[in-house]
């Protein structure tokens, strides 16, 4: 049985933190080797991750070095890169070439929501995806999802042949009205789908919690890391077959594999404690950005939105902001086009928050 921890190739170790494509391949190779040596075999990538370099990294450190039956790879079809129906096959074949594979274990429609669903339907991507499975080019099909439970229920009713749903689930978003993790999870369970979890640590936010929350976790179990509570919360939910973690250093690999090697599900009391911690954090969090950088890819002014939000949340120095503006657009350069908000998985009012950042740092 495959262990429940997957390696997300979205937040890889970088040589330059301001260049998502500057992957530190030497370190990544050591991380992947350690991950595999400890019995973990699931890897998740996508077309645009790491400035478009993630799928190539899979080939560099995994598929060119290990037997095909020793690992599992997932990739995804992005709506934004599809100009017409012909582009579906062109992109898919490029992804197989990039990753060095002749089939994908899992292949998903990427980040399905009310904002891009029309595009997927216009190009008949659901039927196209089923055809890929019938031809043996994909073993399991599904979609990653960023919207409410009502639309999810509709999609799974209309497309019952979907094998898997990838959902954003973590204890901070479990009752978050914008994300609705719990409600979406319950819909997937109702339809009997395999559940793949993304953002269990919410872009690292649940690895750096307020002191009062950290103390709560430490008092319960001094040997468990803060991040372990978030990953174990997600992995403890019935129906979840895999939890992805975007690991960017060896410490994270060692910690995650340590407590996930022989997973001990959270007790009912621990579940309540973790959810209470989420309530505490929701009241204190300023901007709930996960740093996925989808918005940066869409911004016509190349504003470093996730970096600025991280800086603001951490009450960073003005000098750090000014250093970023030498390479990226300033927060005040926003032309209020809204392209960022259409693609934001967290449904954040980005334009509003950019004004807040500009007021603080400019």
pLDDT by residue (tens digit) across 82-117? Answer: 999 999 999 999 999 999 999 999 999 999 999 899
pLDDT in tens, 36-66: 999 999 999 999 999 999 999 999 999 999 9
The two structure tokens encoding residue 101: 């594979």
pLDDT at 224 over 90: yes
Average pLDDT, the chain: 94
Q: What angle do CA 330, 308, 176 make, to 5 degrees?
A: 135
Mean pLDDT of 6-26: 95
**Given phi > 0 = left and psi -120 to 50 = alpha, else beta, which region is 143?**
beta
- Sign for the CA dihedral angle at 61, 63, 67, 70 comes to positive
- How many residues are recorded in the chain? 362
For residue 18, the model assigns a pLDDT of: 83
Residue 356's alpha-carbon distances to 173, 318, 349, 351, in angstroms, are 23, 14, 11, 9
C-alpha to C-alpha distance for 319 and 325, rounded to whole angstroms: 10
CA contacts within 13 A on the Cβ side of 189: 11
pLDDT value at residue 62: 98
The pLDDT of residue 138 is above 90: yes
Task: Give the global pTM.
Answer: 0.87
State the Cα–Cα distance between residues 358 and 362, nearest whole angstrom: 5
Mean pLDDT of 4-12: 97
| SS3 label, residue 39 | coil
pLDDT band at 133 (very low <50, low <70, confident <90, very high): very high
Query: Using one digit for the tens of pLDDT, what is the confidence trace for 299-332?
Result: 999 999 988 988 888 788 888 899 889 989 999 9
Q: Which residue, among 86, 20, 29, 28, has the nearest Cα to 48 in the 3D structure?
A: 20
Share of the chain above pLDDT 90, in %: 81
Question: Which residues fall within 8 angstroms of residue 317, CB to CB, at 6 or more apart?
Answer: none
Predicted local confidence at residue 342, as pLDDT: 84
The predicted structure's pLDDT at residue 285: 73
């Amino acid at each position: 049985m495959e262990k429940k921890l997957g390696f997300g190739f979205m937040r890889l170790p970088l040589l330059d933190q301001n260049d998502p494509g500057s992957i530190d391949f030497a370190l990544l190779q050591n991380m992947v080797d350690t991950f595999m040596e400890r019995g973990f075999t699931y890897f998740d990538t996508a077309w645009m991750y790491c400035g478009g370099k993630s799928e190539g990294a899979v080939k560099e450190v995994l598929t060119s070095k290990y037997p095909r039956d020793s690992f599992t790879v997932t990739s995804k079809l992005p709506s934004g890169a599809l100009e017409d129906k012909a582009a579906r096959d062109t992109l898919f074949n490029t992804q197989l070439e990039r990753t060095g594979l002749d089939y994908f274990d899992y292949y998903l429609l990427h980040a399905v929501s009310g904002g891009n669903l029309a595009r997927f339907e216009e190009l008949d991507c659901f039927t196209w995806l089923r055809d890929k499975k019938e031809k043996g080019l994909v073993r399991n099909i599904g979609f990653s999802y960023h919207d409410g439970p009502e639309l999810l229920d509709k999609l799974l009713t209309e497309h019952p042949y979907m094998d898997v749903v990838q959902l954003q689930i973590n204890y901070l978003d479990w009752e978050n009205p914008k994300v609705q993790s719990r409600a979406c999870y319950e819909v997937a369970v109702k339809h009997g789908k395999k559940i793949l979890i993304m953002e269990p640590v919410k872009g690292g936010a649940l690895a750096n919690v307020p002191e009062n929350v950290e103390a709560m976790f430490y008092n319960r179990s001094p040997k468990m890391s803060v991040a372990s509570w978030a990953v174990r919360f997600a992995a403890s939910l019935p129906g979840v077959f895999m939890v992805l973690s975007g690991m960017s250093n060896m410490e994270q690999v060692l910690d995650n594999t340590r407590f996930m090697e022989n997973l001990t599900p959270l007790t009912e009391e621990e579940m309540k404690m973790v959810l209470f911690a989420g309530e505490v954090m929701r009241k204190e969090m300023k901007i709930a950005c996960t740093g996925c950088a989808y918005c940066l890819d869409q911004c016509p002014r190349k504003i470093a939105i996730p970096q600025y939000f991280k800086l603001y949340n951490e009450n960073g120095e003005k000098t750090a902001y000014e250093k970023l503006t030498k390479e990226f657009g300033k927060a005040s350069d926003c032309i209020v086009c809204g392209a960022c908000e259409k693609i934001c998985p967290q449904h954040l009012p980005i334009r509003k928050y950019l004004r807040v950042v500009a007021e603080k740092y400019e």
